[in-house]
Chain A
């Protein structure tokens, strides 16, 4: 049997043979990765290993998978994990309604032999494939990108199952047999660390912890993603979010919030940040009431004063 996991053909985009070239591709697709992240993605593609990305909310974990599917010109298959997720929601499910209809129909016509009805009942046509099966069944010049998002929300049982899938890139359906991937999908797993994901699963993967971006990088991300924002505004916004991250909030702003905030400001025609504007738009960067309160107590004026990058960028 041709075991897909034994085959280690890399899935690099054509023309990319160095992590810096990959970094350039990512940037062309509006994603700014630092050296560590570019290397992690590069090695994951080159060695054909799943990539486990961990980090605070909004640092760009999920986006990595989306950008990769664009660069590799291959479909993105997403499995969103949640508490209680099981094999039937992640891999496959029989279409019971149609199966029951099939039995009833066979009964109505009568005379059909039972065994045959039963065999037909578990035909591929009655199988509904969910994301993991879709990823294994995919056929094409490039394997798909399989995003297993927020693994930390699932439970141990499901994790153990993922470990199996990521080792063999195959599943066995008792009624049908084993379905195996032609080539392992480009697998990206993300976690917010609401709980520690089991070591065994992490050890199947390459690992990268994404930090909040440095001040300069965040300014760059803002300029890239919200091209209408003026340089000065972008710098002020990045400086203010950087300060907010040291404020002990329930939900410190991630890049997502920096971008939302900048967009809100641009929509108001802002070219420069001041206290009134911060007050008017605070809800787009701090999404919890308590956090807004905390920032207000610390003084909104302080968010606008001074320059950013304190001690983070040399």
Chain B
């Protein structure tokens, strides 16, 4: 890095302003971190660019993905114009898929009843109808209703035995609790206490295709991802398009609209093309094989249209299936009568998929929740 001179501004003010810029760019920078940053620069040379750069990076970032954002913001803030004047936020596209007005049905229809009076009937889908309605045909009002339905849907992985032990009526000897009970009886009647492995749900990893061809469904599916993440549990979410983006953190914000806005900000390839194979490879290499996919239930939401090389997809699906406990593929096209996996990507992936579902309506998402929670035959 070149050594450029930076005019030393009043440090705390500058730190606060810079923190604001970073926050605008999506980093989680609390006041505590900003104070830490200001203290760090005091120990370094505030007039030297690299000292400021590293002090900030070390105190204000907390994961590798932050670094790119930090670098851009740093350049913008400290190197153009310089000093304490906060610049407008760095160029990061914030966009959210807008409701498609063309599929919005008229709010009310006016009809004449038998007695000839005009009656206004709200075309409000009763819940049972809504549960079966194709997401692509949803009106904005129905999305609001969907939100309520989703709140009751829990996505929880099949159970597995963890290595953590907990008290149990039978199992391995638990000296700690045995001793305590011995104490109570003065060491006479030693009643043995036991513990055994705690049972824990498996991690669930959701990979959601956000490319153009999935657009009619991504709005509903992202809401589903959000509801699942907010409900808590061992869950990770990623978007796939031309690249892979981890969106778990963005989705933890409780308010769905805000969460989706943040997600759209983080995902820079919404409605672009899909390079399924490459994106899944990135997942396998960067996250999956390091542990995230091991023994996990992996759910892929995609129509299987892949602009990349399908042999990459086939190979990566095989790698993934060796790591994961189960792979569920959700493809809304499957709901089409007479559907055949014609998309080359879908055909290449299917041999490695354990459960194939449509996910085009709420009922099918309930089916998905059951597939995610189910134990395999041999475990039952």
Instruction: Flag whether A49 is at the interface (Cβ < 8 A).
Output: yes
**Docked pose: A69 CA to B137 CA in angstroms:** 64
Instruction: Flag whether B291 is at the interface (Cβ < 8 A).
Output: yes
Contact with B along A81-124 (1 / 0, CB 8 A): 01110101000001011011001101100000010001001000
- Of A83, A96, A118, A207, chain B has the most CB atoms within 10 Å of the CB of A207
Shortest Cβ distance from B40 into A: residue: A43
CB distance from B270 to the nearest CB of A (A): 22
Instruction: Flag whether A243 is at the interface (Cβ < 8 A).
Output: no
Let me know if B291 and A195 touch, CB within 8 A: yes
Instruction: Flag whether A263 is at the interface (Cβ < 8 A).
Output: no
Let me know if A100 and B187 touch, CB within 8 A: yes
Contact with A along B27-69 (1 / 0, CB 8 A): 0101011001001100110000011001101110111100100
Shortest Cβ distance from B165 into A: residue: A84
**Docked pose: A202 CA to B60 CA in angstroms:** 10
Shortest Cβ distance from A290 into B: residue: B319
In A248-272, which residues have CB < 8 Å from any B CB?
A: 248, 250
- Of B54, B67, B281, chain A has the most CB atoms within 10 Å of the CB of B54
Let me know if B186 and A107 touch, CB within 8 A: yes
Please report the total number of B residues contacting A with Cβ < 8 Å: 45
**Docked pose: A100 CA to B190 CA in angstroms:** 10
CB distance from A68 to the nearest CB of B (A): 16
Instruction: Flag whether B164 is at the interface (Cβ < 8 A).
Output: yes
Let me know if A194 and B290 touch, CB within 8 A: yes
**Docked pose: A47 CA to B41 CA in angstroms:** 11
The majority secondary structure among interface residues of chain A is helix
Q: Which of B175-183, B343-351, B369-377 contacts A (4 or more CB under 8 A)?
A: B175-183
- Please indicate the chain B residues that have their CB under 8 angstroms from the CB of A40 in the complex: 54, 58
Instruction: Flag whether B163 is at the interface (Cβ < 8 A).
Output: yes
Let me know if A49 and B36 touch, CB within 8 A: yes
Let me know if B62 and A203 touch, CB within 8 A: yes
Let me know if B164 and A39 touch, CB within 8 A: no
Instruction: Flag whether B245 is at the interface (Cβ < 8 A).
Output: no
Given A207-B61, A248-B281, CB of A96 within 8 Å of CB of B175? yes
- Please indicate the chain A residues that have their CB under 8 angstroms from the CB of B61 in the complex: 207, 209
Let me know if A203 and B44 touch, CB within 8 A: no
Instruction: Flag whether B147 is at the interface (Cβ < 8 A).
Output: no
- Please indicate the chain A residues that have their CB under 8 angstroms from the CB of B175 in the complex: 96-97
Shortest Cβ distance from B188 into A: residue: A107
Shortest Cβ distance from A39 into B: residue: B54
Q: Can you name 13 extra interface pairs (CB under 8 A) apart from A47-B39, A192-B290?
A: A43-B44, A43-B59, A46-B43, A86-B164, A96-B179, A97-B175, A107-B186, A193-B290, A194-B292, A199-B28, A199-B249, A206-B36, A209-B67
* B residues neighboring A (CB under 8 Å): 28, 30, 32-33, 36, 39-40, 43-44, 50-51, 54-55, 57-59, 61-64, 67, 162-165, 175-176, 178-179, 182-183, 186-188, 236, 246, 248-249, 281, 285, 287, 289-292
A and B contact pairs by CB, cutoff 8 A, 21 listed: A39-B55, A40-B58, A42-B43, A43-B40, A43-B55, A43-B58, A43-B59, A46-B43, A54-B64, A82-B163, A83-B162, A96-B176, A96-B178, A155-B162, A193-B287, A196-B236, A196-B248, A202-B62, A203-B32, A209-B67, A248-B285
